[in-house]
Amino acid sequence: MRFTSTRGGDIATFNDAVIKGLAGDGGLFVPETLPDIRTYFRRWQGLPYTELAYSFLALFADDIPENELRYCIENAYSAFPNPETPSPLVKLSDDLHVLELFHGPTLAFKDFALQLLGQLYGRHIRNSRHSINILGATSGDTGSAAIHGMLKQPNAHCFILYPEGRIAELQERQIACTGSAFVHPFAIHGSFDDAQNIVKQIFGDAAFSSACSLTAVNSINIARILAQCIYYLDIVLKLDASEANPLEFVVPSGNFGNVLAGWMLSRMGIEGIRFCVATNVNAVVSDFFSTGEYCPGKVIPSYAPSMDIQQASNFERWLWWHFNGDSVRVRDVMTTLRREGKFVLNKTSANNDIIRATSCNDAEIKASIERIWREKNYLADPHTACAFSAVRENVRSVVLATAHPAKFPEIISSVTGECPEHHSLEALKHRAVVKQVMPADVETVKKAIADILN
């Protein structure tokens, strides 16, 4: 299978797209065509998760030998307590289930993709005998998941940018308390969007990124999106979605990658699934699906810090499919966004899909945490609470629980009186935080990277 840039200027195999991360023209890699997977359903029914993951990914990673792809998948999910059921489905009522995606090593849904991505990087290092270095930005959970996925790979440095003072304390400790000489947390004075823009600018400097052997670990990497398709597929096979019996996935959303993965699956012949994009007060994506206007503003800190994002980078992939693969239109829209700070599509066009969207302010997040605890005896972290607030009555729904509640004990304790804990997080409280604090300036970050590698 070939992968193309959303902006039309780059073609790659799966492995090349994974290693490059960002396309050479600044676009994001997408499969040139998506397979119709309905013919595989009978064969896939009841498969263990790792076998389902292999069967699905083999459709895209056809340039990787079967034994090597299986090795990567098995090692990726061996990091979960139960590799064959890494995402438990919890039934709260006949119409409401919770898909718990927080049982990986860093207690967040990012582990599903980044454990696999780390294995794919490790395969490349072994086969090419050439080390690579990871560069990424995080709004909270991506950084620690990326680091944990790469810790066992030889001589691979991890440079993780995050907004100083704008992620939860335990999220920062997961990034900055590893004790590894190959992990480099860069706390920048700014927002996640500032960090993400710095990463994109660095990859835009081909000479620098090549000289430093940098590759992208953010959700701009297509392997991350494909890995996240699998847990949606697993649930569709278990709950039997159809046009006559539809199922709505309610997804906490910041960078739009998680919901995009499910939406991509719907374009592979899967009927009967719908999506709700549940944002926090940074509602740029929610506003778009309501009005047709995409207008990023200033990031507003919230109780759900991993969603404190105004520039959802994966939205460019949605545009490419929305425009039926017309890369010229994608380039025009992205140019307009860069030049004018916004773009507008026809409202009917924006709404003519299987996606609806909601937003949730801090007061509503607290109310949602309290309500779901009182009514269902279920502890939800602030991001998952945004999704619970968007659930509709009498609609078959699956809420994606994206982070363990123990990562946000203060707000949960203040609302419910319960103080969730996890042994891996408790251990971090006794370690020193090691980080570099710097301005949100691309040249400063590039110098810090070069100094470490040289």
Cross-strand bridge partners of residue 97: 91, 398
Neighbouring residues of 131: CB distance < 8 A, sequence distance ≥ 6: 125, 154, 155, 156, 213
Residue in 285, 239, 260, 258 with CA at minimum distance from that of residue 397: 239
d(C-alpha 269, C-alpha 271), whole Å: 6
Bridging pattern class, strands 293-294 and 343-344: antiparallel
- 146: part of which helix (H) or strand (E)? helix 142-150
Pairing of strands 273-279, 247-252: parallel
- Set 20, 110, 200, 407: catalytic member: 110
Q: Is 447 a catalytic residue?
A: no
What are the φ/ψ torsions at residue 347 (nearest 5 degrees)? -60, -40
The secondary structure element, H or E, covering residue 249 is strand 247-252
Nearest to 308 by CA among 185, 171, 426: 171
Provide the phi-psi class of 394: left if phi over 0, else alpha when psi is between -120 and 50, else beta.
left
> Cα–Cα–Cα angle for 135, 196, 20, nearest 5°?
45
* Residues annotated as catalytic (active site), given as ranges: 110
